[in-house]
Amino acid sequence: MARVSTEDWISKGLEVLSGEGYHAIRIDLLCARFKITKGSFYHHFESLEDYERQLLKFWERKTLQGLTEVLTGSQSAEAKLNRMIEWVFSFSGTLELSLRAWALHNKQVKKLLITMELKRITMVAQMYEEIGISKKEALELAELGHAAWVGIQTCNIEGVINHERTRQLIHEMVRRNVKEMLGKKKK
């Protein structure tokens, strides 16, 4: 039997969560799937709740790290916007959807998801402020973009929409809104 690290458990757990949903995050199912004993699980985690907490914290850290890398640097605001849109559409959306479904039934997941959404919206709003959009409008634009992204994940999972064309349309919509908001400010 191969040794399994804490990181392996977390990585495999995210795969299971993304592919099978939150119902599959159970000790017996995970151990059977990985062909590992429950003792291995308890070597790394105190309980299922501890595992879930570490799984969620890892997802949060990696997600915020990725967004930070996209939104920081010396590139222009337009380049940041382009990179952000490309980055958010590089995900299949299944993990986020599984987390949203899980949040309906788990207070810990709901709390983390709300915190994450607020952090994401705040980070994106700050990017809009950097290019000269008022704080209020930057927040509204970030909230709109986030809501559109969440909605598209749901549609994309069902194959209802053309993913590439929708990405282009959102990009165009955001660029138009940014130009309009900056134009108002100059008048």
Could you report the per-residue pLDDT of 141-164, keeping only the tens digit for each? 999 888 888 887 777 666 667 777
Dist. CA 17–CA 19, nearest whole Å: 6
Q: What number is the average pLDDT over the span 79-103? A: 83
**What is the chain's Cα-based Rg?**
19
How do the domains of the chain map onto residue ranges? 52-186
CB 39 within 8 A of CB 4: no
CB 124 within 8 A of CB 145: yes
The CATH number of domain 52-186 is 1.10.357.10: yes
pLDDT at 187 over 70: no
% of the chain beyond a pLDDT of 90: 45
pLDDT at 1 over 70: no
Q: What number is the average pLDDT over the span 92-103? A: 88
Cβ neighbour number for residue 154 with a 10 Å cutoff: 14
By CB neighbour count within 10 A (0-12 exposed, 13-18 middle, 19+ buried), where does 186 fall? Answer: exposed
What phi and psi, each to the nearest 5 degrees, are found at residue 47?
-165, 175
Model pTM? 0.81
Q: Following CA atoms 49, 15, 23, 9 in sequence, which dihedral angle do they give, to the nearest 10 degrees?
A: -30
